[in-house]
Amino acid sequence: MSGLLNESFELPCGVKLQNRLCKAAMTERMSDAGCNPTELHCELYRRFARTGAGLQITGNVLVDEVHLESRGNVIMDESSSKEALKSWASAAKSPDNQVWVQLNHAGRQTNRFHTQKPLAPSSIQLKKLGLFGRPKAMTEHEIMKVIQQFVYAAKLCQEVGFTGIQIHAAHGYLLSQFLSPKTNIRHDKWGGSIENRARILIEIVKLVRKSVGPSYPISVKLNSADFLRGGFSEDDSLEVIKMLDALAIDLLEISGGTYERLAFFEAGFETKKDSTVKREAYFIDFALRIRQVSDIPLMITGGFRTRTFCEEVLASGELDIIGMGRPFITNLDDISDFLAGSIDHLDARIIKSGFKALDDVAEGGYYAKQLIRIAKGKKIQNNLGGISSAIFFLLHEMRPRFLFKRK
């Protein structure tokens, strides 16, 4: 079946995507003791590559060994195994697809099982199930170190064979924390105005581009808003997008929310507009505002479930790339048929625990376990319940850190 979803798309840097479907980032949680990728990563991404999606973006790859988003994250720094990274990049490639690494620093969203004193723009604690310690406000030296960590990791991605990178500035992680006036109350050049709050992101993009050159794809993942009173707003987001537009990045992915307000999980997004509900995708209304201020190629992830709707938003020019995450788990064997047009609808599965405070933990645990099963060559466990999923997640995070010493 022909259609816009199957058409190629050329990025500003000159790289061409073979189609408009992206396997969006999902945390894999399966690194080895040195926080390097394993054969599980390789097998998982071979499976993703066989779907025919034109772009794959890895789950959270951290630039700092202390500030993990989850146990089992891959870390990219001076201690990383280049051979393991090369194996992962090679396994993920088909003859025509692109494989980008999502680079991140968790900041205050690093839980107590990793560190009791995470770094953040300001000493404002994330209060959620008692899992997060009070952060230390970063010094100028620590900010500059983080910028260099992103630059080093981006260059390493290029060296080992990944075809691009995505800088994660959404979902309440460190760069998102800098952007939000709720979590950034600094009075120096890194806080206050939106220009100051965006400074760390803009500096990272500039220096990464200088390091990797003009023809290597750079993407940014950005919140439309964090959906918290006094937090990062749509107007803030548009100002940041204007700054990114001037830097000619290659793809902007729009999402929303933080650990306090999980708008990026279907089960946790309770403030969707009626128009968004009718039109499947989250954040789709915001795309129209972006188009008024920026020409950056645009991708939205979250909510897409029918090929018909994908074609609709591509034809209207609202989006350039369709991002999907969980369907690459629940409907992995159907993605190629979805692209071919022989399947129009993919599943939307919401996991509930029966306890609101645990629902996002259950959701994360459910999909984490399924990814590991797929990587082991097993079928997904459809009957896995919310409580079992939450227990799996918490036990996974609680594994002692001494078991994960790096060389």
Structure confidence by residue, pLDDT tens digits, 239-285: 999 999 999 899 999 988 665 555 544 434 444 444 444 456 678 88
**Residue 69 contacts residue 60 (beta carbons within 8 Å):** yes
Q: Is residue 64 part of a domain?
A: yes
Q: Is residue 394 part of a domain?
A: no
**Residue 207 contacts residue 239 (beta carbons within 8 Å):** no
Q: Is residue 377 part of a domain?
A: no
Q: Is residue 190 part of a domain?
A: yes
Q: How many domains does the chain have?
A: 1
**pTM to 2 decimals?**
0.93
Structure confidence by residue, pLDDT tens digits, 14-34: 999 999 999 999 999 999 999
pLDDT (average), residues 310-320? 96
Quick one: CA dihedral 134, 138, 143, 145, positive or negative?
A: negative
Sequence-ordered list of residues with C-beta below 8 angstroms from that of 92, at least 6 positions apart, any chain: 42, 45, 46, 48, 49, 56, 58, 99, 162
- HEC per residue, 359-402: HHHHHHHHHHHHHHHHHCCCCCCCCCCHHHHHHHHHHHHCCCHH
**Residue 387 contacts residue 353 (beta carbons within 8 Å):** yes
- For the ranges 13-27, 69-83, 198-212, 337-351, the lowest mean pLDDT is seen at 337-351
What distance lies between CA 29 and its chain's CA centroid?
14
Q: Is residue 157 part of a domain?
A: yes
Give the span between the Cα atoms of 60 and 235, in whole angstroms. Answer: 27
Q: Please tell me the predicted confidence (pLDDT) of residue 2.
A: 75
User: Residue 337's domain spans which residues?
Assistant: 4-346
Q: Is residue 357 part of a domain?
A: no
Q: Is residue 379 part of a domain?
A: no
Question: Could you tell me the CATH number of the domain that includes residue 66?
Answer: 3.20.20.70
Mean pLDDT over the full length of the chain: 91
Q: Please tell me the predicted confidence (pLDDT) of residue 220.
A: 98
